[in-house]
Structure 1
Amino acid sequence: MEKISGEVVQNLDATIGYGRFILSGALATVELTIFSCALALLMAFLAGLALLSRSYSIRAVARIYVEFFRGTSIFVQLFAAYFVLPLVGISLTPVQAGVLAIGLNGGAYGSEVVRAGIQAVGRDQTEASIALNLTRWQAMWWVILPQAVVVMLPSFGNLAIEIMKATAVASLVTVSELTFQAQMVRSQTGETAIPFLLILVTYLVIASVLTALVRLLERRFSRGTAGA
């Protein structure tokens, strides 16, 4: 009995030790997710609006950006941000390189969400805005985008979860996020099952929180457009 009790205590201590590593990794993952999502959202709207521009040059630049980041591996993009940019005088920390690569990659996919969301709004809305003597950009800002955002939110929710999962690639440039910390535990203890089971649960919890936030935003935007 004493031997069994000692083993239970030892396993509990080990699990608590794993938990400290995983908590540290979870905080780094959340930080990466927040900043990457912010950059992705910015780039998604910039590129999405550019894809709808009347200017061929602007559309061409946006299309090159989208196709480049959708058509190349995020691993290559990350290594380019961390190892290639210093060759032209731009040195980034591992976290900055991770945010840049993941954010730009997510923005490329998000741009199509923005473009499709805007095009989903009926043309009659634009015509009504013109009848009210609004400029094209006033119509876009005050009439089209508020309605389009409701259409975009579910897809943006999926994109946010994909970005959160993509933060695992940042471990390749020594960012101490969840996957990196699990690998550290495995290298130090030889234990694989428990640390990776813990990060599996942690990823699921973070994804559930993101899903809940998106649903809350959907309800609020839906009420706002319904009232309008």
Structure 2
Amino acid sequence: MDMWLGYLQLILEGAIVTIKLTVYGCAFALVVAFVAGLGRLSRYAVVRFLAGTYVEFFRGTSIFVQLFWAYYVLPLMGVTLTEMQAGVLALGLNVGAYGAEVVRGAVRAVGREQREACIALNLTRGQAMRHVILPQAVVVMLPTFGNNAIELLKATAIVSLISLADMTFQAQVVRSQTGNTAIPFLTILVLYFAMATVISGLVGLLERRMARGLDGVRA
């Protein structure tokens, strides 16, 4: 029993690493998504081109290869990252590319009458985006952002390939030391599900609160 408690503690330590990766990766992906998503809507062709190239590249290549580039290839170019930094970079850039399309679609989904009202009020493009369009678009983005966050959580398992001691890595350690596969992987299965449930709940709560705040605007 004491032995299994020790192994459980090992997996829980890995869970902390997974949570950190998820939080940092989601924060980075969110920033990237807004920058690239709004970039794809820019009036400047070069900005649209750069944003579009980023989105298509990171959606069209494997996250495994992106992670290996971040951890093994960038040092050859003079940029050395820790396992955590490489994981956050790869996860954030990959999920951020999908998030950018969410941002672009949500902004375009805001009704034409809202844009016309901004023009009538003599708001600049930046003011209209910040005060009128984005607050409404964010509510549309939230459900998909929640899905993206859960996908990022599940994708954190790839960092075990660069020996970062996340839950999956620790489960593999327990399996190799005990010869038991079912218990450690059942444990992380439950932990992943619990974390995903927390993310879904938080996003749902945020979505309801923001939707209530915009009821007057939509009316």
Aligned equivalents of 1:93 and 1:36: distance in 2?
14
In structure 1, stretches of 5+ residues that fail to align are: 1-11
Structure 2 match to 1:42: 31
Aligned equivalents of 2:66 and 2:204: distance in 1?
31
Aligned equivalents of 1:65 and 1:52: distance in 2?
14
SS of equivalent residue, structure 1 residue 191: coil
1:199-210 aligned at under 5 Å gives the runs: 199-210=188-199
Matched, 1:124 2:113: yes
In structure 2, stretches of 5+ residues that fail to align are: none
Deviation of 1:160 after TM superposition, in Å, equals 0.2
Aligned equivalents of 2:47 and 2:129: distance in 1?
17
Matched, 1:175 2:164: yes
Aligned equivalents of 2:71 and 2:14: distance in 1?
20
Deviation of 1:196 after TM superposition, in Å, equals 0.2
Deviant stretches of 4+, over 6 Å? none
Structure 2 match to 1:140: 129
Amino acid at match of 1:106: V
Aligned equivalents of 1:202 and 1:15: distance in 2?
16
Q: Select between 187-196 and 31-40 the one with higher mean Cα deviation.
A: 187-196
Aligned equivalents of 2:128 and 2:4: distance in 1?
56
The structure 2 residue matched to 1:224, chosen from 208, 213, 217, is 213
Aligned equivalents of 1:14 and 1:110: distance in 2?
43
Structure 1 match to 2:101: 112
Deviation of 1:13 after TM superposition, in Å, equals 2.9
Aligned length, in residue pairs: 217
Aligned equivalents of 2:163 and 2:128: distance in 1?
46
Structure with bigger gyration radius: 1
Deviation of 1:17 after TM superposition, in Å, equals 2.2
Q: Select between 180-189 and 199-208 the one with higher mean Cα deviation.
A: 180-189
Matched, 1:18 2:7: yes
Compute the TM-score of the two structures, normalised by the length of structure 2: 0.97
Amino acid at match of 1:197: L
Two-structure CA RMSD over aligned residues (Å): 0.8
The structure 1 residue matched to 2:186, chosen from 182, 193, 197, is 197
Aligned equivalents of 2:67 and 2:47: distance in 1?
26
SS of equivalent residue, structure 2 residue 214: helix
Structure 1 match to 2:52: 63
Structure 2 match to 1:4: none
Aligned equivalents of 2:2 and 2:179: distance in 1?
16
SS of equivalent residue, structure 2 residue 176: helix
Amino acid at match of 2:29: A
User: Cα deviation per residue 1:52-71 (whole Å; 9 max; x = unaligned)?
Assistant: 11111101100110011000
Amino acid at match of 1:68: F
Structure 1 match to 2:72: 83
Structure 1 match to 2:143: 154
Deviation of 1:18 after TM superposition, in Å, equals 2.4
